[in-house]
Structure 1
Amino acid sequence: MSILETIKSRRTIKKFKTDPVHSEKLMTWLEAAAMAPNHRMTEPWEVYFIGQETRAKLNHKTNFGNAPVLMAVLSKHGATALETEENALATACFVQNFNLAAWEEGVGTFWSSIAAAANKREILGVPEGYDVIGVFGVGYPEEISEPKPRTPMQNKLKELP
């Protein structure tokens, strides 16, 4: 699959099969994710793999679609407000690289912002000085939804003098 096909076909997965995702594959995708652009090479991301006990405490309304792998991706704060923002943006690029690398091999993801809440951060043991970019279910899709309509890019373009 070409990169354009991968990007255009990627979907958020809401129901996963129980088939395991092998740790070697996860590491391959994480290593690819780490090639994300990040200003001043801060490499601000950290990944927490979430076990069953912690998952139960998170108490997500859909249990992350029963994904066999659950992970949180954190972004470290920078020395300045600007660097903290740049780090969060770099970590979002890290996440997108991971999502696309996994999708190319038939594995989908579900991105949840559940850990933005203080009590969920506490459950995950997120230290001060970190933002949680998301909690991700990862696995083989049980269902793949149709693409949602997008605003034509022509409607999003502006030309400056």
Structure 2
Amino acid sequence: MAHNQWAFTDSEREAVYKAIFSRRDVRREFLPEPVPEPVLRRLLAAAHHAPSVGFMQPWDFVVVRDRDTRAEIKAAFAQAHAEAAEQFDPASRETYRGLKLEGILEAPLGICVTCDRSRHGPVVIGRTANPEMDLYSSVCAIQNLWLAARAEGIGVGWVSIIHHQRLREILAIPEDIDVIAYLCVGYVRFFHERPELESAGWLERAALDDLIHEERWQGGQAR
């Protein structure tokens, strides 16, 4: 096969895959030291260079350093966490309650990622048939930030157990702006070898071959 002139070098390619495979959702391993402003700017620049439908770049980033504000967010998490626990069957409920699922106060800063669905008007290239594509674009920005953070030795934790309306109130986010994620961000003591929920026995990683379908959907088992 002819050499692909557009491919990265071997070491560059390995670095990309290393970031992907060693990225973790960090909860308890955060260090209190602040993230330097130049590093934070690099992370936000990586997020801002994510693909977006119609190049609409619908994201904004609310950087939260104030501990009192983060304490409010932690209280909002605690409320949603208690509500969630009641939805699990009794056999799983205590296991769920024992899991560490956020690092809101441990991490030195939080970043709330939003989506302005009205940016550049109601008609956007690529969003006409599937209007939710702008939301997916903002998620791509989060993934970019997450991988860039891993390359910097910085951990990120996505706090999904929280009511977005409560985040909106705490951070004064306008009603017409969608909240996508609250991320805990900071340097860490270490990164886990495997995702914590996998190590805890909550779920196992699915086999890739079970998820691949050739040409069209092939029932319960892909292959």
Partner of 2:87: none
Contact 1:113 1:133 (C-alpha < 8 Å) held by counterparts: no
Report how far residue 119 of structure 1 moved. Answer: 2.6
Segment of structure 1 superposing worse, 85-94 or 119-128 = 119-128
Find the residue that maps to 2:135 and give its secondary structure. Answer: helix
Q: Residue 115 and residue 129 in structure 1: after superposition, are their counterparts in 2 closer, same or farther (change >3 A)? A: farther
Q: Distance in 2 between matches of 1:84 and 1:108?
A: 32
Q: When the two structures are aligned, how many residues end up with a matched partner?
A: 161
| Partner residue, 1:95 | 142
Q: Which residue of 2 aligns with 1:27?
A: 41
CA shift, 1:34, in A, is: 1.2
Which residue of structure 2 lines up, in the alignment, with residue 67 of structure 1?
107
* CA RMSD across the alignment: 2.1
Please identify the structure whose Cα radius of gyration is greater.
2
Distance 1:41 1:116 in 2: 29
TM-score (norm 2): 0.66
Asked if 1:111 is matched to 2:158, the reply is: yes
- Distance across 2 between alignment mates of 1:64 and 1:143: 17
Question: Any conservation in 2 of the 1:21–1:139 contact (CA below 8 Å)?
Answer: yes
1:52 and 2:67 correspond: yes
Whether 1:5 and 2:3 are equivalent positions in the alignment is: no
Q: 3-state SS of the aligned residue for 2:43?
A: helix
- Unaligned stretches of 5+ residues in structure 1: none
TM-score using structure 1 length: 0.89
Post-superposition Cα deviations, 1:91-123, rounded to whole Å, max 9, x if no partner, equal 100000001001011001010125543233211
Equivalent position amino acid for 1:71 in 2: I
Alignment of 1:70-81 (within 5 A): 70-78=110-118, 79=122
Indicate conservation of the 8 Å contact 1:116/1:132, yes or no.
Answer: no
Query: 1: distance between equivalents of 2:35 and 2:115?
Result: 24
Letter aligned with residue 211 of structure 2? K
The structure with the largest strand share of the pair is 1
Cα displacement (A) at 1:86: 1.1
